[in-house]
Structure 1
């Protein structure tokens, strides 16, 4: 009987141990233990045993090595080895959550069991973080510095995010999960945090002059995107950038620079999200990923590539050979299945941004009643009524009786602007043509809306009548990648003075039913058909610049219209590699284009005009010149179906006749 009781007692003990082990197994990894939400668990003997390991693994300099499962039982010999390593300065890091996780664990257990050793170890860790910071505000991956890419400023695996999160809480609360922080540490933490934010702002990557996101690591001297491992090339990171922005969004009363950083990154996340792919993982019996497939799916939840090209945001993938591939299927199974190539982390940015924007981005504009103002100022630094041009347009009264003038201070405004038909009588005035830049980068292939995708690619679309613009640069920055409109004007009586209109193919779309437009003292550049449309347009004293061999104009003048595109006193120039440029070709067969007293560079082809494989257009189109000059003006060699105007004929091309209204109106935009 006693023997049976003994067996039963042992079974109970074994069952109890089994239950305890099963509970422990719910947290197999060190990172899982850190995230335990049950505060009372940190008062258990189990937690205290782990804390002893954490103390043993900490080096005298204050930091910890990475990838240590702190919860594993240590033998006596292992403990002695760790004691011997205390003064060793190798492999101490903040990578993969190291140091941050141990500090967080110590703070949580101190709150339940206030052992002074935990507090001392935490403060030693804080000393380590403060010492490791570069003067420019960033942190290396390893400190003391380890040769190689490890010296770069590292956002990889959210290292700097975790460091700054600790410093932020300390600087704001003088406390970290229950550990009281001495005041001198609080002050140091505040300084270090502010330096870190400055570093983040300075390292945000500019793509064609527009702020975007961050690389996983940046050169510690130049602050430019930098390479890490062979398959971690300089790129824009869809993963690491998310936590950076979320951190910036937690800052109370953010500076204009931080606000701009957040808004720019948000726009980049919106632009680069992928909604037609889903990742499918194939697992073996042990739950290990043995294959990944990207499946084309309509209306999929948004994901982002972890690595995107610095120039154009295109996703890429690398094997250990460091050779870029365009799809996940092109790399070997080891890297394909053993690395996170896509992420959904930016979804939190998109989710939280509207409330952040309402609180900070428009705080000033919400306080001002501007609905009935006739003068509005847009400034990125918050000194105006709005920080975004589109917001200013949206706030103007529909069909105003008096002209509304929107002054835009210098800055690069990455915006896709639309001025609707009901927002007429608007003037947009930049602070300077060179430094007030409105830019966006949509193009035909990116829009992917069918054969008419060109018309959706605009940077600025003007549908309202009586529009005027001056002292601006309006740019489509997508590059030489197909049809990409910078400025599209559909409204009537439009005035554009002293502006740069920049792009490649289809830079300026001048269209609209019965639309009349006047461009004066402007610089317009592009590649193919970069001035096109059916509007009646007078270009006066403008520089028309060809980037490569192609066509300047592609008019689609409606049948019966007396005037189409008219260029007066303009200068036609070109890049060095552009040596064979046509004045125009007919997009539609009744096209009308005339050059009067213009100076033409040698890049203009002797024949001047081309029929676009439409022989019938030679009878219906009207292409003409009068009294032009320069090496490109060769009237005797023009195609036979083009015209040279007589002096009498040229006289009818006055601004009043062409436009039907006084072209000097709009002087207030100068």
Structure 2
């Protein structure tokens, strides 16, 4: 019996000791090693939970984390109280050196094993932080909130932006890598943020003597050009950061032509700039610290790439804290020479992977379409194109027959233009709710002077006889001033069963032609339907999001009709109480509402002259047989009109949109 007790004691001691050894093995690792650990039973342990609690303490209310923290180190009670006091501070919150990225990965792994709601909440707060920190141009700064200095640059350094995009990609693709998934609304934001990030990567790829090359570790947030960081980090091309950027691009399942071209050009640059026959040797002291780096000739050494290469000719260079370029590593002081990674082998991973990737995508630009008049766009690669604009650009110019481009469900973050030479095109979505074309340009972002509004549109129609069906077209810039979702500068254009979403200037219905908007939802704040077209809006919902003006017509003097709304519902957000039907952008504006239901947000006076008294004599603002609390014909401004029955009879689709000349041919709108 005594021996049995002794055996039990030995076994218990061994278990306790083995546990202590395992604990020590974990605690001796770096934070990066712990977050990179494969998911196993350890993440269900009390130790993992304790570390996760530390992670929550270090997270700031804004959602992100500071950098260079060994989260696994035990915290005293005093340290915990200090961290709680820092919660509301956003100072030093960053994505640099893997901050926020590694904490989100760890929380996801712990949550899969220990699904506590607070871990999920912290992860989602981290995700919201990443979304909020993104620039309009798609890039991310090193610190957010912004920290003065080079920290505001778009930061590829130490893979900061690539790490963020990896998070977004796993979430949008629902790969299962993360145990936590956001709501559908947030996932859509993630999808758009990823697309914007890829667009930023494409836009910052450096053009050297007319040829795309690689990237700098940081790029100016305004000009997008390579930018200086610390004194020894001069504008240059970077072998290290560029490699992981290209690996990210190569991981995209169905890359666009632009992404494919970017990869091809970057790989060519890597081949051109690799250094062979040279290796780096290190001299260590007794403590194992590097005290010297020496470059040695070695014909058998693997290829290496310089950390910094000249923007003009790709010549490697080195610099000390004085910021002066040197030709060799030996020319700079020991502190920088030994304390910085001046050469990298990362691009070799790209070159190793490239042949297989190239084989998979080599025929992309040479794709032969079976039917030039029926093509499909699908983000998942199941169609003929993954980009709407690519499909349009490859369409036949001035076709005799109609070209139908079917767009599968998905969020398409791109500016789309149907060119003047692409008439007779139909863009038809799989469903209005889930086929979304979105972009976020706006007046101040465009910054091209007083006409910047007209460059801000998400979709631009310059081609006659274009048809849009079952789409959501959105300007997602927010309430930031003029920001057009859809601009139509053509005739015989039909927009059917579409959502047009935005704030100010949502729909620019212009050109001297005729346009037909049927069964559409159109929302906005100020002048959100504006321009000089003759346009019929039939069975549409016109939704106001703020007290302001619905229409701002600029109808030409000679036009018989301007904007005509028939059988439409005028609705508004609950807080909207003072909405005008319209005001004249130009003094001959014509706008008429017939058989429409007007909500109580419509002001009794109905119309405004835009501080143009002369417009009261030249505009034609009228109504007929409207209904609803907002229809108060007796209280309208005295220079507006209430149509008689005989006058209202002239407002037919034939008279508004038809050919005034007699013809046996069917009208264009009869062929929709």
TM range (shorter): 0.5 to 0.7
The answer to whether residue 594 in structure 2 is matched with residue 596 in structure 1 is yes
Answer whether contact 2:525 2:549 (CA < 8 A) is retained: yes
Tell me: CA distance 1:586–1:655, structure 2 relative to 1, closer, same or farther (3 Å). Answer: same
User: Partners in 2 of 1:583 and 1:132 — Cα distance?
Assistant: 64
Q: Kindly tell me: are residues 296 and 563 of structure 1, through their superposed partners in 2, closer, same or farther at Cα, counting changes over 3 Å? A: same
Q: Work out which of the residue numbers 162, 170, 177 in structure 2 matches 1:243.
A: 162
For 1:145, what is the secondary structure of its paired residue? helix
Partner residue in 2 for 1:534: 532
CA distance in 1, matches of 2:169, 2:519: 46
Q: Give the match for residue 145 of structure 1.
A: 51
Task: Provide, for residues 523-565 of structure 1, a one-character-per-residue CA deviation record: whole Å limited to 9, x for no partner.
Answer: 1111000000011100011111111110000000111111110
SS of alignment partner, residue 392 of structure 1: helix
SS at match of 1:474: strand
Structure 2 counterparts to residues 416-565 of structure 1, below 5 A: 416-512=415-511, 514-565=512-563
* Matches of 2:574 and 2:640, distance apart in 1: 27
Matched, 1:221 2:157: no
Distance (Å, rounded) in 2 between the aligned partners of 1:262 and 1:555:
36
Counterparts of 1:95-110 in structure 2, within 5 Å, are: 95=31, 97=32
Q: How does 1:354-369 map to 2 (within 5 A)?
A: 354-355=259-260, 366=365, 368-369=367-368
Task: Give the secondary structure class of the aligned counterpart of 2:523.
Answer: strand
Conservation of the 8 A alpha-carbon contact between 2:168 and 2:194: no
Deviations 1:629-662 (A, max 9, x none): 1111111111111111111111111111111249
1-structure distance, mates of 2:594, 2:169? 59
CA distance in 2, matches of 1:250, 1:583: 44
Question: Which moved further from structure 2: 647-656 or 141-150?
Answer: 141-150
Give the equivalent residue in structure 1 for 2:634: 636
Find the aligned partners of 1:597 and 1:300 in 2 and give their Cα distance. 52
Query: How far apart, in 2, do the equivalents of 1:304 and 1:486 lie?
Result: 36
Query: Cα offset for 1:301?
Result: 2.3
CA contact (8 A) 2:489 2:510 kept: yes
Q: Provide the aligned length of Structure 1 versus Structure 2.
A: 449
Question: 1:406 is matched with which residue?
Answer: 405
CA gap of 1:61–1:568, structure 2 versus 1, over 3 A, is farther
Report the equivalent of 1:609: 607
Query: Is this contact kept in 1: 2:246–2:263, CA < 8 A?
Result: no
Question: CA separation in 2, counterparts of 1:140 and 1:272?
Answer: 42
Name the CA shift for 1:132/1:621 in 2 (closer, same or farther; >3 Å): farther
1:439-486 CA distance string (max 9 Å, x none): 111111111111111111111001111000111111111111111111
After superposition, the Cα gap between the structure-2 partners of 1:388 and 1:448, relative to the gap in structure 1 and judged at 3 Å, is same
Residues 534 and 558 of structure 1 are in contact (CA less than 8 Å); yes or no, is this contact kept in structure 2? Answer: yes
CA distance in structure 2 between the partners assigned to 1:346 and 1:379 by the alignment? 31
| Structure 2 CA distance for partners of 1:448 and 1:141, relative to 1, 3 Å | farther
1:145: Cα distance to partner? 2.9
How far apart in 2 are the matches of 1:417 and 1:154?
34
- Structure-1 separation of matches of 2:384 and 2:21: 60
TM-superposed deviation, 1:86: 8.3
* Coordinate RMSD, CA, aligned: 4.8
Secondary structure (helix, strand or coil) at the match of 1:242 reads helix
| 1:408 shift after superposition | 1.1
Aligned to 1:88: 24
Cα contact 2:658–2:667 (8 A) shared by 1: no
After superposition, the C-alpha distances for 1:26-60 in whole angstroms (9 at most, x for unaligned) are: xxxxxxxxxxxxxxxxxxxxxxxxxxxxxxxxxx9
Q: Distance in 2 between matches of 1:458 and 1:350?
A: 29
**CA 1:233 to 1:518, structure 2 compared with 1: closer, same or farther past 3 Å?**
closer
Provide, for residues 580-627 of structure 1, a one-character-per-residue CA deviation record: whole Å limited to 9, x for no partner.
Answer: 100000001111111111111111111100000001111111111111
Where do residues 49-68 of structure 1 align in structure 2 (5 Å cutoff)? none
Shift of the 559–346 alpha-carbon distance from structure 1 to 2, 3 Å rule, reads farther
- Distance of aligned partners of 1:390 and 1:255 in 2 relative to their CA distance in 1, 3 Å threshold: farther
Match of 1:268 among 197, 204, 217: 197
Cα deviation, residue 91, structure 1: 3.8
SS at the partner of 1:382?
coil
* 1:90 CA displacement: 6.8
1:301 to 218, 225, 238: 225
Distance 2:588 2:131 in 1: 52
Distance of aligned partners of 1:400 and 1:551 in 2 relative to their CA distance in 1, 3 Å threshold: same
Secondary structure at 1:148 match in 2:
helix
Distance of 1:304 and 1:663 partners within structure 2: 64
Determine if contact 1:304/1:346 at 8 Å carries over to the other structure.
no
Q: Is the 8 A contact 1:569 1:599 kept in 2?
A: yes
The 1:262–1:574 alpha-carbon spacing in structure 2 relative to 1, beyond 3 Å, is closer
Query: Is the 1:225–1:235 contact (alpha carbons within 8 Å) kept by the matching residues of 2?
Result: no
Match of 1:79 in 2: none
* Alignment gaps of 5+ in structure 1: 1-59, 63-83, 101-125, 160-195, 204-217, 276-293, 306-335, 338-342
Q: Which has the larger radius of gyration?
A: 1
Which residue among 558, 568, 571 is the counterpart of 2:569?
Answer: 571
- Paired with 1:264 and 1:486, the residues of 2 have a C-alpha distance of 18
**Kindly tell me: are residues 529 and 368 of structure 1, through their superposed partners in 2, closer, same or farther at Cα, counting changes over 3 Å?**
same
- Give 3-state SS (helix, strand or coil) of 1:88's partner: helix
Structure 2 CA distance for partners of 1:374 and 1:257, relative to 1, 3 Å = farther
- How many Å separate the matches in 1 of 2:243 and 2:655? 57
d(CA) in 2 for partners of 1:460, 1:383: 23
- Within 2, Cα distance between the matches of 1:660 and 1:424? 19
How far has the Cα of 1:129 moved from its partner? 4.2
Deviation of 1:370 after TM superposition, in Å, equals: 2.2
Q: Which runs of 5+ in 2 are unaligned?
A: 1-16, 70-100, 109-116, 135-139, 142-154, 178-187, 205-217, 232-236, 250-258, 265-356, 660-664
TM-aligned CA distance change 1:620 to 1:362, over 3 Å: farther
- Listed as ranges, the matches of 1:102-181 within 5 Å are 129-131=38-40, 145-149=51-55
